Structure 1
Amino acid sequence: MKQVLLLLRDNIKQIPFPNCWDIPGGGLEDGESPQQTIIREMREEIELVLHAPKLFNTYIKHDRIEYTFWQMADLDLSRTPLHEGQMLKWFSKEEIENLSERKIAFDFKHVLLEFFLKKKVNGT
């Protein structure tokens, strides 16, 4: 079954989108490329070593540029360490479609559905 990995953000009122599902990642550090950023963030957040993440899309927002990457992975979440957030979960296309927009951080629902559409990741 083809799915996407999401992280449940901490339930802390001071952070953006507390207790919402989010695409793992983070912000660029000085001198870092977007690809170097996702490699570092995945290693820091869940100790996953990415070898060649592929750029899926770039989104220009009014206050930032978002780079989305993807890489196939076979992770046993019961053995995956989690250093940020509450939990990890694999989501199918149908599960994403049924999630309320308010339960997905940063308006990422459209990004996830676009990924399923373009990559033909259809949950079967």
Structure 2
Amino acid sequence: MTEGSQIIIYHPARHAVLMYLRDDKPSIPFPDMWALPGGMLEPSDKTPKECVLREIEEEMELILDPATVQAFARRDCDFGIEHTFTTSLELDIDELALHEGQRLGWFTAQEAAETELAYADNDILRQFFSRKAVEQTPGADPDRHRTDRHDQQGTPAVEGGVAR
């Protein structure tokens, strides 16, 4: 089974996440669709987190501080195992050198919900933005309803977007 990592890069001032428009090549999965940045684990990757850090550097020349990248979810999907990470970063996408995909864009919760995204990213972003809404509610406890367990890499284990 294939295994990959992706990252939700959240821009706090915009209340939006970074997405990229995949290349329009029929030979790749989900051509010409918006997706979260990331990629497949390679033999040199010791962990899913190492994979996502490498992929972001290769694809956008963006070096993320590993200490700011947090595990968000691990999902068993029909296309393989997917590890999702998060970080918050106020970033000007015009300053990035995109080496894969057609272009970058910021998506709010509503924009993401209204767009059919690659790799079942709609489900993971719905979960992410739901947690963000709770975190931004005064006096709310964002962990109150969390029942997810963590895998060996510390990634919350979810199946089909639902904590297991």
Give your verdict on TM over 0.5. Answer: yes
Measure, in 2, the Cα distance between the counterparts of 1:97 and 1:109: 6
Measure, in 2, the Cα distance between the counterparts of 1:121 and 1:23: 22
In the alignment, which residue of structure 1 is the partner of 2:25?
Answer: 12
CA change 1:11–1:63 in 2 (3 A) is closer
Per the TM alignment, residue 65 of structure 1 is displaced from its structure 2 partner at its CA by 1.1
What does 1:45-84 align with in structure 2 at a 5 Å threshold? 45-52=59-66, 53-84=69-100
Matched length: 119
Per the TM alignment, residue 96 of structure 1 is displaced from its structure 2 partner at its CA by 1.0
Is 1:38 matched with 2:52? Answer: yes
- SS of residue paired to 2:105: strand
Structure 2, unaligned runs of 5 or more:
1-13, 136-164
CA change 1:44–1:121 in 2 (3 A) is farther
Q: Pairwise CA RMSD of aligned residues?
A: 1.7
- SS of residue paired to 1:108: helix
- SS of residue paired to 1:26: strand
- Which structure shows the bigger proportion of residues in strand conformation? 2
CA change 1:65–1:45 in 2 (3 A) is same
In the alignment, which residue of structure 1 is the partner of 2:128?
Answer: 115
1:2-46 deviation per Cα after TM superposition (whole angstroms, max 9, x unaligned): 111001000111111110001100011114200100100000011
Higher RCO, 1 or 2 (CA under 8 Å, sep at least 6)? Answer: 1
**Conserved 8 A contact 1:56-1:68:** yes
The aligned amino acid for 1:4 is V
Measure, in 2, the Cα distance between the counterparts of 1:121 and 1:43: 31
- Report the TM-score, using the length of structure 1 for normalisation: 0.89
**Conserved 8 A contact 1:46-1:80:** yes
Percentage of identical aligned residues: 39
Measure, in 1, the Cα distance between the counterparts of 2:133 and 2:42: 32
Structure 1, unaligned runs of 5 or more:
none
Measure, in 2, the Cα distance between the counterparts of 1:14 and 1:3: 30
Instruction: State which structure, 1 or 2, has the greater radius of gyration over its C-alpha atoms.
Output: 2
- Report the TM-score, using the length of structure 2 for normalisation: 0.68
